[in-house]
Amino acid sequence: MAAVTIWNEYRHEREDDEVTAVYPDGIHATLADALADEHTVRTATLEEPDHGLSDDVLQSTDVLVWWGHEAHDEVDDEIVDRVQEGVLEGMGLIALHSSHYAKIFKRLMGTSCSLQYREDGGTERLWVVDPGHRIADGLEESIELPESEMYGEPFDVPEPDRLVFVSWFEGGEVFRSGCCYRRGSGRIFYFRPGHETYPIYENEEIRRVLRNAVAWASPTDGSPRTFGQRE
């Protein structure tokens, strides 16, 4: 059981009726519901002081889940610094969907994190390419999402340490949809599904992936990281 903080931009849900209909209490509430069976969950949003990510919150967070889209630029650089430091010290980070362009994800990757996309609502099928991975526990060989936004390659990220999912899209594209990284002592998982107008976080298999990913990203004790001049 990990102590999870779910961070959500929380804009689309309050500004766009179509999104409100899908996620009436915000995407963070649906994500919290998905995780609560196996983990302890708090939420935080952009409008809160420090975006809800005070030092106290971060220091008591095992895994931070991040969803952002239209307001990436409004996230304060000092908070990004703080989250990066937390990850390097061992906090897990799960970046969802359009968070490929979140400041914190780009900061940790060092690349543009660009990709191709098309909002067409076609079918997506996520294939498990690493069946023995902790994040694939209990899954079938693939997950089918009847309506999804397309994300296509090339996805400008560093080569993943482990690639867990590759997506097939009805329109003819593929995408590396589940990518694992280590940075410092922290584990990072990028997971593609999750557009704001498709009820993807209600899907039981996707919820299972989210719970597994949190379990995988939880820190272990490690060894002290003592830097600087040695005597």
Minimum CB distance to a copy of itself smaller for 32 or for 95:
95
From residue 202, how far is each of 67, 107, 176 by CA, in Å? Answer: 15, 30, 22
Closest separation between CB of residue 5 and a copy of itself, Å? 19
Closest separation between CB of residue 72 and a copy of itself, Å? 16
22's CB contacts (< 8 A; 6+ apart) are 196, 197, 198, 199
From residue 204, how far is each of 35, 152, 156, 194, 208 by CA, in Å? Answer: 11, 24, 29, 13, 6
Minimum CB distance to a copy of itself smaller for 32 or for 188:
188
Could you give the CA distance from residue 130 to residue 165 in angstroms, rounded to a whole number? 7
Closest separation between CB of residue 80 and a copy of itself, Å? 12
Minimum CB distance to a copy of itself smaller for 28 or for 103:
103
Minimum CB distance to a copy of itself smaller for 26 or for 186:
186
Which tokens go with 84? 């990066």
Q: What is the largest CA-CA distance in the chain?
A: 62
Minimum CB distance to a copy of itself smaller for 67 or for 155:
155
Instruction: Name the burial class of residue 200, with classes exposed (0-12), middle (13-18) and buried (19+) by CB atoms within 10 angstroms of its CB.
Output: buried
**Is the peptide bond between 154 and the residue preceding it cis, with omega within 30 degrees of 0?**
yes
Closest separation between CB of residue 154 and a copy of itself, Å? 5
Minimum CB distance to a copy of itself smaller for 17 or for 159:
159
φ and ψ of 217, to 5 deg: -80, -5
Closest separation between CB of residue 133 and a copy of itself, Å? 7
Looking up tokens 């995988």 gives 216
Closest separation between CB of residue 26 and a copy of itself, Å? 27
- What is residue 20's three-state secondary structure? helix
User: Which neighbouring-strand residues pair with 166?
Assistant: 127, 176
Binding site residues, a copy of itself, CB under 8 A: 84-85, 88, 90, 107-112, 114-118, 125, 127-134, 136-141, 150, 152-156, 158-159, 161-163, 166-169, 172-174, 176, 181-186, 219-231
